[in-house]
Structure 1
C-alpha cells in the first residue's frame, strides 16, 4: 500500500505554492506523472486495451497502468467503453477531443526539445 503524502512537508508546500502562482506549473506537474503521456499517446495510436498497453510497456506494473488510466478518465482525456460479447469483459479506451488537443501540444513540445537539445552535453554528470 502506498504511503500517504505528508501535507505539511516542504515538497507539499512547494507544490501548493507553485500551483497557486501559475496554472502552467499545476498542469505540468499533472501531465508529467510517470507513464501518463506515453499511455495517452498509445491510446491515441490505437493501442486501446489494458492488455495491449501492458504489452507496449512491459516494465509498467498493472497497478500503475490502472491508476494512470483512472486518472486519464477522471481528467476527461480518454473514454472507456465495454467491448460487447467478450468474456471476461473487456474495455476499449479512446482519446477525447481534450486528450487529442493535449497531445498536439505535447508533440509541439517534443519538436521544440529536439530543436534545442544540446547534443553531447550531459550536465547531470560529474567529470573527474
Structure 2
C-alpha cells in the first residue's frame, strides 16, 4: 500500500502546498499590514529578485490569496492586498510563527 504525501488526501498538505514556495509566507506577512505597491514589497523582501517576486505575486493572485488593483493614473500604480481568503491565513501564520519560536532552536 503506497502512502506518499503526493497521494495523501490531507487538508494540512493542501494548505502547505498553497502557501509553499520560498517567499509566499513572507509576502503574505508584508501584505498583512496593509496594501502595498510592488516596489514596497520588494524593499521589505530585498533578497527576492523582481522576477521571482512577480511570479510569486501572480501565483498568490491566481490562488485567490491576494488581489491586484490597477489605478488608471499617470504614472500607473498597482497595489497588492490580501483578500478575505488571504486574511483568513493570518491567524494560522501567527500560530506557526509562535510554534517556531517555542520549539525550534535558533542560533
Q: Name the TM tier (shorter chain).
A: 0.7 to 0.9
Structure with higher Rg: it is 1
Measured in 1, the distance between the counterparts of 2:33 and 2:81 equals: 9
2:89 is paired with a residue whose SS is helix
Measured in 2, the distance between the counterparts of 1:56 and 1:78 equals: 17
Of 80, 88, 95 in structure 1, the residue corresponding to residue 82 of structure 2 is 95
Structure 2: state its 5+ residue gaps: none
Match of 2:93 in 1: 106
Match of 2:21 in 1: 33
Match of 2:7 in 1: 20
Measured in 2, the distance between the counterparts of 1:117 and 1:61 equals: 28
Residues matched between the structures, number: 103
Match of 1:126 in 2: none
1:76 is paired with a residue whose SS is coil
Measured in 2, the distance between the counterparts of 1:119 and 1:69 equals: 29
The structural deviation recorded for 1:91 is: 0.7
Of 69, 72, 75 in structure 1, the residue corresponding to residue 57 of structure 2 is 69
Measured in 2, the distance between the counterparts of 1:118 and 1:59 equals: 23
RMSD of the alignment, in Å?
1.8
